[in-house]
A and B are shown apart, each in its own frame.
Chain A
């Protein structure tokens, strides 16, 4: 089958998903979506994207599974410890000057990053005045995030990351291990709101001091990246902070001039307000 046909099918499939379920992947980076739907195709035993489309349209139970193919669910606690170290050492002092804080983890997946931030904020004594928003488009991921249960085998890595990020306490203070899994302290999500929110179609919902959106933009094409960054721009307070993934940058965004680089290597940006 020619690539061209496949591309047409792929676009139709994305269009179908959007029309039927309002999940908009049309603006996602094509190569990545194609790869991931290719895997989904194999998984569902379809030979073409059109077959997959047929399945998705007529069997609504397929969608959740398909979503987990489309959204990459990989993260860990304190992933890229240096990022969290910079947050802790350089960004937090700024955040301390706000009486109340809002932190938005856009594309929170299974919540690892949100819990990392919650732990960090607790260690820094900011948790009490902070409200965390974790948003994702995948309801399954949100459920997992809300549960806060992770495989015990991942804990060593988490602990190591936490230590490298400059953690001031022991990670074991925040979870209870049982039955091969670690359950994170419920109080960590007392101040967290998990909600379904799409950077592709939804709007600003609150004013944030810190937005962490790591490794989400890489799956978007330029147009959607611009939209998402525009959302962040509108959500952030003046001088608010935006953290991106290691390979993401604002440099080519149309909103680039609104932000200044705060920590180059860690891709932390600060919003500039007009005087």
Chain B
């Protein structure tokens, strides 16, 4: 705004600015020569001051001059007097000497004393006078010097005088006269006279001198007086002039100031430029006694007229000018006020604003603000313009400049403001648009945020899933670990087993020999006995011996088989290879078995198909053994038809011997089993066909040793085909290792049995062939009587099952036996036994799963199950619902106890449920729903029947429909609770009606469980009833329990007190009521804060019913506990009412909130009964 360059510009202008000459007188007045009004006034004042000082100095000087003159006169006067005194003293001294002389002379002459008188008087005074002279002559050393001479003269004279006088007296006249005649006296006298004369002379000279001095002093005094007077007059005149000057200056200042003030006043206020100009012109013209004026303001680079005064509007002042254009421009350019005096008549060439007028004098004043000319004022005067006008302009120039600038600024501001407002409006419009787009953006951003949060959610979900996956992985890992651990264990066990098996085989191999030795002798001896060589045995005894021999032979065959097997297993079997002719082999077999076949009425055919070699290289004996075994088996199991042995070359080049029979066949699932040691397709086969069951195992092993294998193809009832395939030439490399499943994959049963379960190694390995074995153990299923005492034994160990069976019979149970889990479940479902004794290690599933399934089947879940097992699964079994657990081996007494335990359970009376329902169809279906082996559901169709039944009988539980023909369910319940004549079992309300909160509240007092009929209600009813029956078992009768409870829990502090329980949760209401009511408290219930207040209000007026204490829940609908407590505390009459709050919130804050709301105390849920009671006791008013 105020560029620095402005000042330098100005300096340059000043530097070059010379005086401006026109041919008329131009007074220029440099703006920069302005002096402040105070300095102007100061000059006048200092002049005045100097004048005054000069007057003072004058007076002081003239005073001093007078003083010194007077002093000189005084001193000289005194000195003259002094001289005069000296003179007179000298004269007197002389006179006195003369007097003394006179007296002496007179005496001398006369002798008369009287003449001495003047002498005496003179003597006295002479010395005094001489002293006086000496004193007066202190200032004159010459005179002082003369005084001793004088004194000497005087002394001499006086001495002469005294001598003469004394002589006269003494010697008389003559003597004296002589002396006098000596002229001594005269000489002395002359000396004195000379001295006095000298001194007088001196004094006189001095007096003249002093008188002259005095004359001079007088002259000086006169002259100085005149001069002082003159100067005084002059100075007075000067001071008067100065005073007048000062006054004038002051007036001028005043004029200037009032002009300034006037200008300032005119400019005051919020004016526009034109208005300002007009006001200014009007004021200045009037104030300065001008006649015309114009006012220009800088607008942009040029100056524009904004106001005129006293000039015609048209053709008067120009509308504007540029800097340097004309006088106005010059004034601007030079930044100085131009005063043009005595404008010539008709002088119009000057492009002044007032061209048409004829003002005699013009004043052009640039108005500056911060050294920038921003306005020009031109005034025309008729009369001459004095300097004060210029000075005024000097003074107001800046003010006006500033004002103009301010106005300009203000105008600018105004314009800017308008601009701003316009822009603001525009902005508003834009803002509106922005807002709209912002809203859209917000919308979008909200959508974005939403999707972000959604993403967040998804992320969290993903994390959750991830963590779950991790957990699952971990679980899998654990399982994997478990599996690998088990695998390791299994491997160890397998190794151990293998080793054990090896030991076993070794042992058997050894044992068999050891066995054969004594057996041999027994056989021999039996044979001897049977032969009865002595003939001393009875036929019977011979038969015994033959039986012994036969048994011995069987035993021997068995031992041989075992030996073979164990040899093979232990690897002790050795082969002796040789060349075997096929025809011979077949013929031998044919020869061996033909008789046997014929004996059975069968046909045994042999054939060697083409393509077979003549000889085989193998162990003939072993091959024969295998074929013999198979053929003999085939014959054994074939009742009719034929057995064929055919030899052919198999597709792989080996030789196969196929034995085809038309016998009973082997079921598919048995086909694997037949090859296993000690197994046969059907356990019963043993007894029917004899044999050890080892044959096929041995055959398989031998075939394996020969480098071949056995295949079985069979269909039950159609016959079987055993095919033995061996290589044409034995090669030990072809021998497969032992244990490989030769004919079939491993049996499925091995999957079921837990590897560590003791059952696996139990001595019942033959139970693998399950479903076929039906009724293996005899039981009572065909002989069941109506007696409900039936016990089911699920046990795969037959002897043990038998023992249990006998024991059950002893205890008068009928007994069913199942040996597998599936059978057990089937039997349980079919026969509904009243108790079950269950083994855990069953061949197909674990007994625990049987237990679980029994407990999850509605038909069997009530049946008590007792476990007897070799493994310890006590916890699991009991948690699954078993009533007892015995660990094998068990003692008989334990078993007896267990069964007796089951018996007591059974002998307990039936659970009885009273069903009160008016609709017969419903009643029937409910009875059927609830009734079971142990639950007897008894119906009552109306309240009367119900009451009757409850009076006569006891029930464990009662299911009540609320709508009854003769009374409402409520009144029935109330009757029951009121009258002791009726038993009051636990009630399950079962109603088709929806209940209001009040109704529910009312019912809750009697019933723990309320069920609304609907699609799912039977399920829930059964559930609740079952729950009830289970809960009440082994408890005292409820009534009795209640009485006991009542007697025990009366509490003096609580007895008879009224407690308002404010709680919306029915369960809590019930719980708290059942805690407090037995202790004698009278409970009022409110379900929310508002009801609590109403309740308090209601009982307020009745002293016998007033509430003693409030238990207040916090979280309630309508009005929460905090608000309710505050409301309570607002009432003066309830200020002291104890309020205990029950809060589920754990934080200290919440509890503080309770207390600050006005509660006396609080208690956190879950509620501790003892703590609650003690709190109630503490706060209960006494």
Contact = CB atoms under 8 A, between A and B. Distances in A.
A197 interface: yes
Interface stretch (A6-14, A51-59, A91-99, A162-170): A91-99
A100 B1067 CA distance: 11
A275 B1026 contact: yes
Given A252-B468, A275-B1026, A99 B995 contact: yes
Given A202-B1147, A205-B1065, A100 B468 contact: no
B461 A32 contact: no
A74 B1064 contact: no
Nearest to B449: A74
B1149 A247 contact: no
A202 B1145 contact: yes
A122 interface: no
A247 B1027 contact: no
Interface stretch (A111-119, A125-133, A138-146, A171-179): A125-133
Contacts of B991: 99
A117 B602 CA distance: 84
Contacts of A133: 1115
Contacts of B999: 99
Contacts of A100: 995, 997, 1000, 1066
Given A97-B1016, A193-B1115, A252-B471, A203 B463 contact: no
Interface in B600-650: none
Interface stretch (B191-199, B498-506, B661-669, B1007-1015): B1007-1015
Nearest to B463: A31
Interface in B1113-1170: 1113-1117, 1120, 1144-1149, 1164-1166
Interface string A9-52: 00000000000001000000101100110000000000000000
Contacts of A205: 1065, 1113-1115, 1144, 1165
Interface residues of B, number: 58
A97 B1064 contact: no
Contacts of A275: 1026-1027, 1030
A234 B1064 contact: no
Nearest to B1067: A207
B460 interface: yes
B812 interface: no
A273 to B, nearest CB: 7
A208 to B, nearest CB: 9
Interface string A179-204: 00000000000011101111001111
A219 interface: yes
B110 interface: no
Contacts of A198: 1147
Contacts of B1030: 275
B443 interface: yes
Interface in B984-1016: 989, 991, 994-995, 997, 999-1000, 1003, 1010-1016
A102 B1144 contact: no
Given A205-B1165, A206-B1067, A129 B463 contact: no
Contacts of A29: 460, 463-464, 467
A3 interface: no
A25 B1147 CA distance: 14
Given A100-B997, A204-B1144, A252-B468, A215 B1016 contact: no
A219 B1010 CA distance: 37
Interface stretch (B18-26, B132-140, B451-459): B451-459
B1115 A207 contact: no
Contacts of A249: 468
B460 A251 contact: no
A151 B450 CA distance: 12
A206 B461 contact: no
Interface string B1011-1033: 11111110010010011001000
B522 interface: no
A72 B1017 contact: no
Contacts of A204: 1144, 1165-1166
A215 B1115 contact: no
Contacts of A219: 460
A103 to B, nearest CB: 12
B454 A74 contact: yes
Contacts of A191: 1117
B1068 interface: yes
Determine which residue in B454, B1014, B1120, B1148 has the highest number of CB atoms from chain A within 10 A of its CB, and name it: B1014
A238 interface: yes
A99 B1115 contact: no
A93 B1117 CA distance: 25
A267 to B, nearest CB: 11
A73 interface: yes
Contact of A96 (B464, B1012, B1148, B1164): B1012
Given A74-B457, A100-B997, A203-B1164, A93 B1016 contact: yes
Contacts of B471: 252
B520 interface: no
B1068 A207 contact: yes
A218 interface: yes
A248 interface: yes
A270 to B, nearest CB: 11
Contact of B1064 (A131, A246, A247, A248): A131
Nearest to B1031: A275
B465 interface: yes
Interface string A231-246: 0001001110000011
Contacts of A246: 461
A35 B1067 contact: no
Contact of B1115 (A22, A35, A72, A195): A195
B1035 to A, nearest CB: 15
A117 to B, nearest CB: 15
B439 to A, nearest CB: 9
Contacts of B1015: 93, 96
A128 B457 CA distance: 33
Given A93-B1016, A195-B1115, 18 more contacts: A35-B456, A74-B456, A74-B457, A97-B1014, A97-B1016, A97-B1017, A98-B1010, A98-B1011, A99-B994, A100-B1066, A129-B994, A193-B1120, A201-B1146, A204-B1166, A218-B457, A218-B461, A246-B461, A273-B1027
22 contacts: A22-B1148, A32-B456, A32-B459, A72-B453, A74-B454, A74-B456, A96-B1012, A96-B1016, A96-B1017, A97-B1013, A97-B1016, A97-B1020, A102-B1065, A151-B446, A191-B1117, A193-B1120, A196-B1145, A205-B1144, A218-B460, A218-B461, A219-B460, A275-B1027
For the complex of A and B, list the 9 residue pairs with the smallest distance between their C-beta atoms, beginning with the closest.
Answer: A205-B1144, A247-B461, A207-B1067, A206-B1065, A74-B453, A218-B464, A96-B1014, A99-B995, A203-B1144
Interface of B: 443, 446, 450, 453-454, 456-457, 459-465, 467-468, 471, 989, 991, 994-995, 997, 999-1000, 1003, 1010-1017, 1020, 1023, 1026-1027, 1030, 1064-1068, 1113-1117, 1120, 1144-1149, 1164-1166
